[in-house]
Amino acid sequence: KEIHEEPGAVRDTLTEMDDVMRVVKEIGEVERVCFVACGTSYHASLVGKYLFESILGIPTDVILASEFRYSARALTDRTLAVFISQSGETADTLNALRSANSRAKTLAIVNVLGSSATREAQHVLYTRAGPEIGVAATKTYVSQLTIIYMLVAAMGAPELIEKLEKVPAIMEEALGDEDNIRALSSHYSNVSDFFFIGRGFSYPTALEGALKLKEITYIHGEGYAAGELKHGPLALIDDGVPVVAISPPGPCHDKTLSNVEEVRARGARVIGVGSTLDEALRKEADDFIGLSPEVDEVLSPLVYIVPLQLLSYYVSVERGLDPDKPKNLAKCVTV
Ligand code: F1P
């Protein structure tokens, strides 16, 4: 249900543009950005780094909230420290926010109204995903991404807005491919390992795809920057090991395709995720998930995660699990 609510969550979050503009004005000049978060919110932050650096040219760090206290990062009054949290109550994120408040400009991006992070940060932006009951974050992830894109738009890339407005309809199209994803997921319910590979903007998508799989199917899933494969993990690719290759149209495409050839040569079973017009990837892949050719690399994190969430959902159901209530995971980690 919550995956199906994603187009609406993006639409509702896009109505916050005036608020984003107001907050950007209040924040003033920014020389560096430092994102801090946990879990899925950390992966949204990684997309933020690619956006801030490639579009705005602002140097950006991303730090796991649990590692923030060990980081010697110099924060200054021209650093914007961005704390992303669905709940606004995650202990590691709150502790980091408290220690940054006196050293930097702080902004919390939160889904739950009135939560601790919204009371403690200097600036606040809300995602409009509505309540999220499923323990593993889905619609709040795409809403967090939407706010980050809007922030980048407001800080100097207004052309992004027109592109973002097309996203909900493209997501609806992606959700229309659910029967294909349900059918192909039956090939993967008994495997013990899964790999997700992507480059550039698709690297955080690979990490988030692997996290969803771990959280709700309990299958070991690894997300890798596709170019890292040759530095070790290729040794783990054997006959029949599933590799999800995330390869939207754009400058990274051909290099990712050559990584697909590499894993195929070692017997991997490839699930290609790319443009419906991508005949080269379709040909290399054992299973293929096609998405709108309109979605380029920059926009892909918002759309390419949708079929990966559905894949994990259906593999979880095939394994007889309850995807909404994964074991050993709380919706809000307050310790
Ligand atoms: C962070 C997080 C979620 C995860 C689970 C546990 O929460 O790791 O990403 O799905 O709910 O907590 P938050 O800080 O974004 O609320």
Ligand 1 contacts CB of residue 143 (under 6 A): no
Q: Which two tokens stand for residue 328?
A: 């050993």
Within 13 Å, how many C-alpha atoms sit on residue 14's CB side?
Answer: 16
Q: Which two tokens stand for residue 332?
A: 């809000």
All CATH 3.40.50.10490 domain ranges in the chain, comma separated: 6-165, 169-318
Q: How far is the CA of 38 from the centre of ligand 1 (A)?
A: 6
Ligand 1 contacts CB of residue 41 (under 6 A): yes
Question: Residue with the nearest Cα to atom 8 of ligand 1?
Answer: 39
Identify the bridge partners of residue 193 per DSSP, sorted by sequence position.
220
Q: How far is the CA of 85 from the centre of ligand 1 (A)?
A: 7
Look at residue 32 in the predicted model and tell me its pLDDT: 97
pTM value is 0.97
Look at residue 334 in the predicted model and tell me its pLDDT: 86
Mutate to test the pocket of ligand 1, among 110, 120, 332 (most ligand atoms within 8 A of CB): 332
Q: How far is the CA of 41 from the centre of ligand 1 (A)?
A: 7
Residues 264-289: tens digit of each pLDDT = 999 999 999 999 999 999 999 999 99
Look at residue 122 in the predicted model and tell me its pLDDT: 98
Ligand 1 contacts CB of residue 96 (under 6 A): no
Ligand 1 contacts CB of residue 333 (under 6 A): yes
Domain 6-165 homologous superfamily, CATH? Glucose-6-phosphate isomerase like protein; domain 1 (3.40.50.10490)
Collect the ranges in the chain with pLDDT lower than 70.
none
Ligand 1 contacts CB of residue 40 (under 6 A): yes
| 3 state SS for the chain | CCCCCHHHHHHHHHCCHHHHHHHHHHHCCCCEEEEEECHHHHHHHHHHHHHHHHHHCCCEEEEEHHHHHHCCCCCCCCEEEEEEECCCCCHHHHHHHHHHCCCCEEEEEECCCCCHHHHHCCEEEECCCCCCCCCCCCHHHHHHHHHHHHHHHHCCCCHHHHHHHCHHHHHHHHHCCHHHHHHHHHHHCCCCEEEEEECCCHHHHHHHHHHHHHHHHCCEEEEEEHHHHHHCHHHHCCCCCEEEEEECCCCCHHHHHHHHHHHHHCCCEEEEEEECCCHHHHHHCCEEEEECCCCCCCCHHHHHHHHHHHHHHHHHHHCCCCCCCCCCCCCCCCC
Residue entry with tokens 């502790």 = 95
| 169-318: in CATH 1.10.443.10 | no
Q: How far is the CA of 40 from the centre of ligand 1 (A)?
A: 6
Ligand 1 contacts CB of residue 135 (under 6 A): yes
Look at residue 331 in the predicted model and tell me its pLDDT: 84
Atom of ligand 1 lying closest to residue 65 CA:
14
Ligand 1 contacts CB of residue 331 (under 6 A): yes
**Side chain identity, residue 149:** Y
Q: How far is the CA of 131 from the centre of ligand 1 (A)?
A: 14
Q: 138, 115, 137: which is closest to 125 by C-alpha?
A: 115
Look at residue 249 in the predicted model and tell me its pLDDT: 98
**Side chain identity, residue 139:** K
Question: Residue with the nearest Cα to atom 2 of ligand 1?
Answer: 39
Look at residue 90 in the predicted model and tell me its pLDDT: 97
ipTM above 0.90, yes or no: yes
Look at residue 235 in the predicted model and tell me its pLDDT: 87
Ligand 1 contacts CB of residue 316 (under 6 A): no
